[in-house]
Chain A
């Protein structure tokens, strides 16, 4: 019997603190997201990618780069996530690139607040201490049962990329895990 709460009303859940909820969760809409794969050692690919994006692909593990309204997240060797507010052409990256539009297949949640790192630590095994994971870092990792991408936007602001079909589940998880800090779910 599955009795999961499949829809969460916007509102504040859990602990009541004088400072207000420790974490706020809101959904980011209207993002265009491409999954980009290509061989960095083949010079055609990074050149075409730089041309298409207007910035070079990040090459360090967990590195992110910004510019021209585009944010590029290093996901794995030869794999990136390209996030933008405007539509990006999938064929702009040259013949050597493998591109998929994954914008509607991902739920992007903006998490913020003073307890946001403590909340993420409850399900994510990587080092999320500010000295190891700060703005400019992203990681394809785990949160609870789920594969997620965590992107550090600012000290206490993170974007969480979750496979769309887990959208209900991750909201439910965030509320459960966040209750001890107080968690606010913003209207969609």
Chain B
């Protein structure tokens, strides 16, 4: 397999002493270290590499880098398999496996190619026209179309690799490491500024890698290596190879995607596969280069038709030959040096077909020296061949660029196109810089900057090497100075001269009649032709954005890098307007695709959101409690004994607490310390009820509204000292409440002297509940716990087993109960002391589920009821609303829509058969058999089996519910389809008078 028929014996930046074996479509080939998959396939003479997206036409390489539109491969196998990777961007490694895409069963025999014969059936927008009826079949159509129309397959196995992000700050970021970027880095680097230079390729050099320019009399790549070494020696310069500047965001945030390990079989020694860099740069230099444009003529997609610069780069950098006999088709002078390079590499150049009338001396000299014939004022009107081009038809053009006169056929297996150059203005445009159209270059170039950036070199239309070096040196110095460093431009080396690009324009070569029918492709990746652009115009899609959506021109992985300008110029022709009037589509991030894994970084699997645990977590775990995520917290659900289900344990625990005593971990409740001389005023402003008469050492239940008058959260306010309070929030709302309170203090009421601190983690919590709770507590403290010393809603600071604790006489369960807060390290001591002391009272631990049952039995509201759509009165807090003071949400809460009698009010529900569980989320309706739509009167928010009542119960929000106790309704779950007949009741099922908790 050593034979590489299209490889030069010498030359190029490859290491022939390091052969690498790889597999494409199951066949084994050999390439060399320094190859890309594309250059290695070319060296092996493999020309048919892909089938097109829509018509399944045979395709080969067209580009050298990110512009490649045809040859997307499925790279690697198994869990690491990745679709739609341009072969031009894959560095070869030993054992690489790639497969072509979009063909079945094989590239050479592809059944889908029948689409090409039926292409009349698939005009642009045919999806929208053909698959409209019946509408409900669209999902089926979509699935079938997705399968038939192109692109590779997503891996189904879990990605075994890791990905990383990192955040960096620098003075000068330089995007692009070609001649301009390298010079910019030298200028900025010598100033002492912190510089980051990134380049998407395996090494720096940009266009110098593929050309035969000389700098200081030496080959370009030598100067690149010297310069990179000089930069590497500067401690303030960071060089990032294989790193694409993918997105430019506000405030000079540039996101880079570093392919750390894609050039290896697998990542090594725990390195991430990709690393995303979030770089905040004071100043930016864009040196992103330019991409050659193809020309549009009949059957210009045949394998072997490619960009001139691509064929040149394969020959120069890899010693890989695109074919044996080439025809160059150009509209500008840049192709002549390339033609000479191809000839020197051993490709017979049949002719340079040049659209221009008159040629300049330098290019004529190049052609003469290389002994290449030039056909000026000629065009290629068509390419011929199927799986490879075998000839082209060439015709003269008249002064109107219309092909006239005698056609001649030239045999060739390569057609190199040069339709001018398109500056890569993607990042500039993403930064919100404004573009303008340069008529001479026939290209969009940067005009007005919006952020602190400047462009240098080919990306702003300075295509000559000398200009790139000078502009880069200047831009690097300017950026460093703007970032606050004193410097001047680095010395610019002398270099070889190259041609001035002044294209003569003919956006689509008209085909003579006898060639009628050959497709003139504008966008190869999406199979969009010049005729499709015309059709879009005809059907009224005149705007470029509409053109893009209707024809898919410029979509896909290459984002129209070689097709956009041609497409919009053809549209401008139809509109009879200047190109500048047509404009460009929006350039969006990322510049090239980024794997989803890299986007996620570390935030994958169980790190999607953080997890919080209480100081008793390991204790709960050791008793085998399952955990429920509650916000970010993990809460112990219950303690099943041998043979018990969690449901059975919940019933047992809930019953036991009502009859005896239990303890539960309530550390997750939000706690906020409120201090300062204006603390009372602050609380009065945020709660609906007043705290003015709350004495030190007392607790009071409070409800707060949002700015729109709906309930935000509830909790208990305890006055610890004259100017110090602690408030609690629900577990899940804790951080949102804290954020809102801080916002109110910082923004709305900066004059209030109040300090807030979340102390959720500084005080752990244990609730003890049940008729024996005081008895148990009395055993572990010497403090007086009598009703007169610590009455319901009282507070005391006491010792438990030597641990100082805060004791709150509050009750979520409706039983005689206390909440104990203590320093977290002492939690286990207190917990154990209570379990030990309560042994005679048969104390048990209970979990979240039993706590939930107890609170539903008491009609206490939590997240299901505090759902952001309920009013204070609707939840039964109407009597708490103060009329004497102002508070957040007071005025909006008085709106008619929130004060009507028929809005949602909290009720209880009992199934009429006293057996059937009421599904949570069920809708309350009068008659499920009524004509649709059935009016929904309310919804079930919480439900459980009540062990203390012996039947299921539920809480619900029901229109005008308070006046409807005793009514019978249906609870219908749209999810389970279940319907349960229910009776509306008081939401407080147990001890409505509250005698037990005051006991």
A125→B612 contact, CB < 8 A: no
Task: For the complex, give the distance between the alpha carbons of A129 and B993 in Å.
Answer: 64
Q: Check: A177 CB closer than 8 A to any chain B CB.
A: yes
Please report which residues of chain B, range 400-443, place their CB below 8 angstroms from some CB of chain A when the two chains form the complex. none
A122→B757 contact, CB < 8 A: no
B627→A100 contact, CB < 8 A: no
Q: List 28 A-B contacts (CB under 8 A).
A: A2-B606, A3-B606, A6-B613, A6-B617, A15-B270, A35-B757, A37-B755, A79-B755, A100-B673, A100-B757, A101-B762, A104-B823, A104-B825, A105-B760, A123-B165, A123-B602, A129-B168, A129-B194, A145-B607, A163-B612, A165-B614, A166-B610, A169-B610, A176-B162, A176-B602, A176-B607, A177-B164, A182-B270
Given contacts A35-B757, A105-B824, A176-B602, contact A165 B168 (CB under 8 A): no
Q: Check: B167 CB closer than 8 A to any chain A CB.
A: yes
- Give how many B residues have a beta carbon under 8 Å from the other chain's beta carbons: 48
Q: Check: A144 CB closer than 8 A to any chain B CB.
A: yes
Given contacts A14-B270, A132-B169, contact A125 B278 (CB under 8 A): yes
Question: Which of A4, A16, A38, A79 meets B611, CB within 8 Å?
Answer: A4
Nearest A residue (CB) for B164: A122
B609→A145 contact, CB < 8 A: yes
A105→B270 contact, CB < 8 A: no
Question: Which of A15, A79, A101, A127 meets B269, CB within 8 Å?
Answer: A15
Provide the residues of chain A in CB contact with B272, threshold 8 Å: 180
Q: Check: B681 CB closer than 8 A to any chain A CB.
A: no
Nearest B residue (CB) for A99: B675
Nearest B residue (CB) for A14: B270
Provide the residues of chain A in CB contact with B612, threshold 8 Å: 163, 165-166, 169
Q: Check: B761 CB closer than 8 A to any chain A CB.
A: yes
B168→A2 contact, CB < 8 A: no
Task: For the complex, give the distance between the alpha carbons of A145 and B823 in Å.
Answer: 25
Q: Check: A61 CB closer than 8 A to any chain B CB.
A: no
Q: Check: A88 CB closer than 8 A to any chain B CB.
A: no
Q: Check: A52 CB closer than 8 A to any chain B CB.
A: no
Please report which residues of chain B, range 745-770, place their CB below 8 angstroms from some CB of chain A when the two chains form the complex. 753, 755, 757, 759-763
Nearest B residue (CB) for A125: B167
Given contacts A122-B166, A125-B167, A129-B169, contact A37 B675 (CB under 8 A): yes
Enumerate chain B interface residues (CB-CB to A < 8 A).
162, 164-169, 194, 269-272, 278, 280, 602-603, 606-607, 609-615, 617-618, 621, 627, 629, 633-634, 667, 673, 675-676, 724, 753, 755, 757, 759-763, 823-825
Please report which residues of chain A, range 131-169, place their CB below 8 angstroms from some CB of chain B when the two chains form the complex. 131-132, 144-146, 163-169
Question: Which of A14, A39, A182 meets B753, CB within 8 Å?
Answer: A39
Q: Mark A66-110, 1 if CB is under 8 A from B, else 0.
A: 000000000000110000000000000000001011101110000
A168→B164 contact, CB < 8 A: no
Question: Which of A14, A15, A144 meets B602, CB within 8 Å?
Answer: A144
Nearest A residue (CB) for B724: A98
Q: Mark A1-42, 1 if CB is under 8 A from B, else 0.
A: 011101100000011100000000000000000010111000
Task: For the complex, give the distance between the alpha carbons of A121 and B166 in Å.
Answer: 5
Task: For the complex, give the distance between the alpha carbons of A113 and B327 in Å.
Answer: 60
Given contacts A100-B673, A165-B613, contact A127 B602 (CB under 8 A): no
B164→A104 contact, CB < 8 A: no
Provide the residues of chain A in CB contact with B618, threshold 8 Å: 7
Task: For the complex, give the distance between the alpha carbons of A38 and B755 in Å.
Answer: 8
Provide the residues of chain B in CB contact with A169, threshold 8 Å: 610-612
Task: For the complex, give the distance between the alpha carbons of A69 and B675 in Å.
Answer: 27
Q: Check: A118 CB closer than 8 A to any chain B CB.
A: yes
Provide the residues of chain A in CB contact with B614, threshold 8 Å: 165
Provide the residues of chain B in CB contact with A123, threshold 8 Å: 165, 167, 602
A179→B606 contact, CB < 8 A: no
Provide the residues of chain B in CB contact with A14, threshold 8 Å: 270
